[in-house]
Amino acid sequence: MKRFRLYLASVLLMALMVPSILSCTRNSDDDYAEFINTPRGVFSALWTIMDKHYCFFDLKQKELGVDWNAVYNKYSVSISDNMSSRALFEVLCSMIGELRDGHVNLYSQYDMGRNWSWKTDYPDNFSEDLQRAYLGKDYIIAGEDISYRLFTDNIGYLVIKSFLGGVSDSRFNSMFNTLALCNGLIIDVRDNGGGNTLYSDQIASKFTEERVLTGYSCYKNGPGHNDFSDLEENWLEPDRYNLRWVKPVILLTNRGCFSSTNDFVNIMKNLPNVTVLGDSTGGGGGFPFTSELPNGWVVRFSSAPTFDVSKQHIEMGIAPDIRLDMDEDDVKAGIDTYIEYARKLINDQIVNP
Amino acid sequence: MMKKTIFLTTDSSLCSRILSVLFCLVFLPALVLPAVGQSSAWNLPEHKERINAFSVGLGNTWERETYISELSYSGLTGSLQWDSWKGAVPDGKLGYGRTHASVLFGRPESTVGSRILYASVDYFYSREWSVVHTESSDLLLGPSAMFKLCGLYDMSNSNNTATGDGYLSLGLCVDYIGRFKIREYPLAVQVNMFSPLIGIAPAPNYDQPYWFVYKYNQYASLIHFAWAGNCFALNGQVNVICPVRGGSIRVGYNLDYLGNKLGGHLTRLTDTCFTIGFVHRLTKKNLRQ
């Protein structure tokens, strides 16, 4: 009798375990394929990771004519199993370079593969020497890569070289106190390649009195090129615990404004007291993810796109309110066309309205 | 078009084999081992009695994840483990209290040389009834409440550098105890399995970044309904109990498996540990029942 109960229990248990066993054995599809460490395996892994997770294929097809399947065919013929590692790296860099996305990089022991044509194919509109000359020697440091000074015509000049470092509220409060009597503020983010959006958001929150809709974000929720989550609204909240700047702001931009600086410009452009002056930004409107290839190389790519208030991509850059190019004669004469134009704008707006 | 090795065949085969071996280990000894007297290495606890077993283990972690990239990791694992059996109230249904808790930690390395940090904690509590009781064996079976949480820290894949896996589930627990003797030396084989059947489990949705969850309060989207079809887990142990002066030593093998396809990603975590510890039988009149 007891043996019978034992058998009965075992049959019952096996019946309970059937779904579990099935769950382990039914995955005959190739959704989760492991790529092998050969040139073709690495190539396939890179192409597939991008195919499943990169978020701008439709945009790149529309703007640049990039067909990712055609890209596979184009570069696949260059792959052979006896090619050198360096040759493979070059082919893979060329492949991902088709996307012309600053957030798409391939990291190897040789180099960081990139395509920076979104910046290098355009005028610099920036001179670091001139910026240094305008800042002078007695500028004040308000944070990592953040400096400012007061111009003689009562205009503040704030340089943010990157958003990599933390933002000190107390130093910003001190800066706003120092510049309190100024007619306006010029914020120079030219050639700022980005950093952390938390810091750029934190700085932007000091320039608004109200809650402002600044754009939308979503993420990929499936492997298809158009598999995206619902758009989430991005709101800028005013910094209620620190001093805020409500006077005119001229934001200087060029093609070197990328990633979180692009986000910063997108946010600031929605504020009524801010005028964006200069060239279009370089873009970089996708939140980057990283992944590994079978040979240990690391690939970085855009995964979660950001949109402006009109639900348009900001990946290809943000147009300024006032388009301006640096004058070469000005540069030779030690004059920064952007800064001088911004000073004139503020003086025209405040001093001589 | 692409040259690939499909690991699932191997993996599913491994899974089936593990299950088969565990079933055999549970049931076959009961049929073939000769009956011996009750003066054996391990008996079920009596009323107001508790048996505690503590073990330390060393083994291997094998992790297979498809979060962005499809990579396998393996490496050394350490574990601490506690098992407890509490005696049944006479004539009580589901009287035996059974507890299992363990901590696992490892730093497995991927096939491409990168490393991840891995740690897990689990706690299972079951109420079991005696399905079979003979001189040579006991078989206990009962429902179980299970909690498991694994933390993975991976700097190389995605911006979700730290991610979690696990479940909060109701499931099933099986305990088998086989008693036998080698010459006059009593030994016991103890086999145990926990497997969740239904519950909830955390997982980000495909490429959902955690900053997105934080920024837009999407915490609820991390919680998934889990059942054995989309989240299969198994904790199995095989221990040999050897009585020594003042108690017993247990030497065992522990297998911990978690596989799920939640959020559009496949994750498989397998930990195996060889363990050694001691068993302490506690009898107290004031032991709460």
Reply yes or no on whether the pLDDT at B65 is more than 80.
no
Asked if residue A247 lies in contact with residue A156, where contact means CB atoms within 8 angstroms, the answer is: no
State how far the Cα of B132 lies from the Cα of B115, in Å rounded to an integer.
46
Q: How far is B245 from chain A (nearest CA, A)?
A: 33
Better pLDDT: A293 or B33: A293
Angle, CA of A147, A153 and A155, to the nearest 5°: 40
- Chosen for mutation from A17, A214, A220 (greatest number of chain B CBs closer than 10 Å) is A17
Say if residue B261's pLDDT is above 90: no
Tokens linked to A238: 């005013």
B8-283 adopts what CATH topology? Lipocalin (2.40.128)
DSSP string, A70-139: HHHHHHHTT--TTS-HHHHHHHHHHHHHTT--TT-EEE-SS-EE---HHHHTS-----HHHHHHHH-SS-
CB B147 within 8 A of CB B123: yes
Identify whether the C-beta of residue B172 lies closer than 8 Å to the C-beta of residue B197.
Answer: yes
Across the interface, of B5, B211, B232, the residue whose CB is closest to A23 is B232
- Residue B257 clears pLDDT 70, i.e. is over it: yes
A11/B contact by beta carbon, under 8 A: no
For residues A324-339, average pLDDT: 94
CATH class of A39-120: alpha beta
- Of B4, B134, B157, nearest to A34 by CB-CB distance is B4
Banded pLDDT at A6 (limits 50, 70, 90): low
CATH architecture, domain A128-290+303-351: Alpha-Beta Complex (3.90)
- Torsion (CA) A312, A318, A319, A322 in degrees, nearest 10: 130
Most confident range (mean pLDDT) of A16-25, A66-75, B145-154 is A66-75
- The shortest CB-CB distance from A289 to any of B3, B205, B207 is to B207
* Pairs across A and B, CB distance < 8 A: 175
Helix locations, A26-84, DSSP H: 39-53, 57-64, 68-76
Q: Which candidate from B4, B172, B215 shows the least CB-CB separation from A30?
A: B4
| Residues 272-301, chain A, touching B (beta carbon < 8 A) | 287-296, 298
pLDDT, residue B32, reads 45
Domain segments of chain B: what residues?
8-283
State which H helix or E strand residue B58 sits in: strand B49-65
Domain definitions of chain A by residue range: 39-120, 128-290+303-351
What is the rounded distance in angstroms from the CA atom of residue A295 to the CA atom of residue A329? 51
Show residues of chain B in contact with A34, CB under 8 Å.
4-7, 70-72
Residues of chain A above pLDDT 90, percent: 77
Measured in angstroms, the CA of A341 and the nearest CA of chain B are apart by 38
Quick check: B208 pLDDT over 70? yes
User: Three-state SS string across A175-201, please?
Assistant: HHHHCCCCCEEEEECCCCCCECHHHHH
Binary contact (B229, A20; C-beta < 8 A) = yes
Check pLDDT > 80 for residue A34. no
| Closest partner CB to A25 (pick from B6, B16, B197) | B16
- Partner B, chain A 45-74, Cβ-Cβ below 8 Å: 45, 48-49, 53, 55, 72
Name the DSSP letter for residue B116.
-
Mean pLDDT for chain B? Answer: 82
Residue A166 has pLDDT above 60, yes or no: yes
**CA of A170 to nearest chain B CA: how many angstroms apart?**
25
Q: Please judge whether B158 and A2 are an interchain contact, meaning their C-beta atoms are less than 8 angstroms apart.
A: no
**How would residue A148 be classed by pLDDT, with cut points 50, 70 and 90?**
very high
Contacts of A38 in chain B (CB under 8 A): 3
Task: Give the mean pLDDT of chain A.
Answer: 89
Residue B5: pLDDT over 60: no
Length of chain B in residues, anyone? 289
Lowest mean pLDDT of A12-26, A281-295, B263-277, name the range. Answer: A12-26
Could you tell me which chain A residue has the CA closest to the CA of B234?
A20
Of the candidates A22, A48, A53, the beta carbon closest to that of B207 is on A53
Give residue A10's pLDDT: 56
Q: pLDDT category, A7, cuts 50, 70, 90? A: low
